[in-house]
């Protein structure tokens, strides 16, 4: 069952023929960042949620279709006892497979794995956490459970009544509506898709309850250009991540060029974290966390907290890395240099500082030989003082000639001022 569900969740259902673009954001070079005027106005009226990239936990990456009420309660307890809540991970998001049937009035019910959603929301809130839920604009979710088509306002109101604070809205079977209504007309299909996301946006607004609105449609139609115009606080830029270094790094590196579309309230989402899942090594987990922090990506952990090792906890809760992700400037970083497996990415931080990450995506350690640090491209003309974040060490002055040894699949992360 779980494998079947995982397969369904692997980004795209079989009938999603368009979900194949490598699952990675296409270059945004030349794309217009034109904010929608109507939306800018609407946004001004809406309460600001996600002023910094949302942080929390989601059930899919580890539990997938097996998630239960007990898993959510255990996770809530552990977010508190491990210190994750206090490090910023406040949203507890139930992904697909919580949905039951509709009652005679058409009101969505949770299924037997979630006996009382309101009680669960109360429990999560009692821990100082917030609750997230999942649906689709189609008739069925990606795992083929009941979804919101034709019930948008009713569902949004039900979520609000339960006390939901965050909705992930996953395109899934809405694709069949798009192809049925506009066969062979991709622009018309995309218009229907945008309208479906706007419909749920309006439904959420109508409830009067602030909810983070997370768009999940795998980056189609350059969602970063129109995500804010349908109320998206974050939008997936890719197909699904999985718990292996290649998939994670392909997705992360594929975000180059999207920085200009991120801003407070509106974030590019390269998918949830796999830190602590699969067989990712310490260096790989650090690379994953660093890349997501440089990208100002939502930090939605996806591991099983009942089995979290101190090492994994140390990666997820590194305060300096989280501070880079959550920096108040709200600027996403970008790649400033690439040579083979070595890439240097920089993210502007408040106070004129910059985060500088030197990645080694290669299979052997890199001594950086003749690779300069490219401090000018990172915004430093004169001298620069560095702190090594993962080593928790002040390095003092550095120059373009300072060389680092970067392990296989590893990273050196600096805060430079
Ligand atoms: C996928 C989505 C995953 C997960 C899954 C659930 O489409 O990308 O993150 O939500 O559906 O079925």
178 lines ligand 1 (CB under 6 A): no
Nearest to 168 by CA among 178, 177, 158, 159: 159
Spatial neighbors of 41 by CB under 8 A, at least 6 apart, are none
Name the 3-class secondary structure at 170: strand
220 lines ligand 1 (CB under 6 A): no
Q: Where are the alpha helices (DSSP H) in 65-116?
A: 69-81, 84-87
Active site positions, annotated: 170, 240
Query: What helix, strand, coil percent values describe the chain, rounded to 5?
Result: 35, 20, 45
Q: Are 151 and 102 spatial neighbours (Cβ–Cβ below 8 Å)? A: yes
60 lines ligand 1 (CB under 6 A): yes
Nearest alpha carbon, ligand 1 atom 1: 9
Residue 234 Cα to ligand 1 midpoint, Å, equals 15
Q: How many CB atoms lie within 10 A of CB 167?
A: 24
Q: Tell me, what's the pLDDT at 44? A: 53
Ligand 1, from 7, 99, 240: best to mutate by most atoms within 8 Å of Cβ? 240
| Separation of alpha carbons 7 and 287, rounded Å | 26
95 lines ligand 1 (CB under 6 A): yes
Residue 242 Cα to ligand 1 midpoint, Å, equals 11
- pLDDT tens for the chain, residues 1 to 417: 333 333 333 333 332 333 322 333 333 323 333 333 434 444 556 678 999 999 999 999 999 999 999 999 999 999 999 999 999 999 999 999 999 999 999 999 999 999 999 999 999 999 999 999 999 999 999 999 999 999 999 999 999 999 999 999 999 999 999 999 999 999 999 999 999 999 999 999 999 999 999 999 999 999 999 999 999 999 999 999 999 999 999 999 999 999 999 999 999 999 999 999 999 999 999 999 999 999 999 999 999 999 999 999 999 999 999 999 999 999 999 999 999 999 999 999 999 999 999 999 999 999 888 899 999 999 998 889 999 999 999 999 999 999 999 999 999 999 999
170 lines ligand 1 (CB under 6 A): yes
Nearest alpha carbon, ligand 1 atom 4: 9
The DSSP element (H or E) to which 398 belongs, if any, is strand 393-398
Nearest alpha carbon, ligand 1 atom 3: 9
Q: Are 378 and 416 spatial neighbours (Cβ–Cβ below 8 Å)? A: yes
**No. of H helices and E strands in the chain?**
14, 16
Q: Tell me, what's the pLDDT at 369? A: 82
Ligand 1, from 170, 173, 218, 242: best to mutate by most atoms within 8 Å of Cβ? 170
pTM of the predicted model as reported, rounded to 2 decimal places: 0.91
Q: Tell me, what's the pLDDT at 368? A: 87
Helices 152-162 and 117-126 pack at an angle, to 10 degrees, of 50
Our measurement of the distance from residue 145's CA atom to the centroid of its chain's CA atoms, rounded to an integer in Å, reads 23
Q: Tell me, what's the pLDDT at 25? A: 34
Nearest to 156 by CA among 211, 90, 114: 211
164 lines ligand 1 (CB under 6 A): no
How far from 414 is each of 148, 327, 344, 368, 383, CA to CA, in Å? 45, 15, 11, 15, 15
- How many Å from the N-terminal Cα to the C-terminal Cα in the chain? 51
Residue 168 Cα to ligand 1 midpoint, Å, equals 9
Closest ligand 1 atom to 8 CA: 12
Residue 285 Cα to ligand 1 midpoint, Å, equals 22
Closest ligand 1 atom to 170 CA: 7
| Separation of alpha carbons 285 and 280, rounded Å | 6
């Amino acid at each position: 069952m779980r494998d079947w569900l995982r397969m369904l969740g692997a980004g795209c259902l079989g009938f999603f023929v368009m979900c194949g673009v490598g699952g990675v954001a296409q270059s945004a070079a030349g794309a217009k960042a034109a904010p929608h005027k109507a939306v800018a106005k609407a946004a001004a009226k809406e309460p600001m949620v996600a002023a910094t990239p949302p942080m929390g936990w989601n059930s899919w990456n580890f539990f997938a279709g097996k998630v239960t009420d007990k898993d959510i309660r255990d996770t809530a307890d552990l977010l508190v006892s491990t210190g994750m809540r206090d490090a910023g991970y406040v949203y507890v998001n139930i992904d697909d497979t919580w949905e039951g049937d509709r009652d005679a009035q058409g009101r969505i019910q949770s299924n037997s794995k979630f006996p009382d959603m309101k009680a669960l929301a109360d429990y999560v809130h009692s821990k100082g956490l917030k609750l997230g839920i999942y649906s689709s604009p189609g008739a069925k979710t990606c795992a083929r459970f009941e979804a919101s088509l034709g019930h948008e306002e009713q569902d949004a109101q039900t979520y609000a009544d339960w006390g939901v604070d965050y909705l992930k809205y996953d395109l899934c079977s809405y694709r069949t509506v798009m192809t049925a209504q506009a066969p062979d007309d991709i622009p018309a299909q995309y218009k229907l898709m945008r309208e479906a996301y706007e419909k749920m946006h309006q439904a959420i607004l109508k409830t009067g309850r602030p909810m983070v609105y997370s768009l999940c449609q795998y980056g189609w139609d350059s969602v970063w250009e129109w995500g804010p115009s349908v109320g998206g606080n974050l939008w997936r830029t890719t197909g699904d991540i999985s718990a292996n270094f290649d998939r994670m790094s392909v997705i992360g590196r594929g975000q180059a060029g999207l920085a200009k579309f991120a801003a407070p309230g509106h974030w590019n989402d390269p998918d949830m974290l796999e830190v602590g899942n699969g067989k990712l090594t310490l260096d790989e987990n650090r690379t994953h966390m660093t890349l997501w922090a440089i990208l100002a990506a939502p930090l939605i952990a996806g591991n099983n907290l009942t089995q979290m090792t101190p090492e994994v906890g140390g990666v997820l809760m590194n305060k300096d890395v989280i501070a880079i992700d959550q920096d108040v400037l709200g600027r996403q970083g970008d790649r400033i240099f690439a040579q083979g497996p070595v890439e240097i990415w920089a993210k502007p931080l408040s106070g004129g500082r910059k985060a500088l990450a030197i990645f080694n995506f290669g299979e052997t350690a890199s001594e950086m030989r003749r690779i300069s640090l490219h401090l000018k491209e990172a915004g430093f003309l004169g001298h620069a003082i560095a702190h090594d974040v993962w080593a928790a060490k002040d390095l003092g002055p550095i120059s373009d000639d300072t060389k680092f040894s970067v392990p296989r699949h590893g990273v050196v992360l600096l805060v430079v001022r």
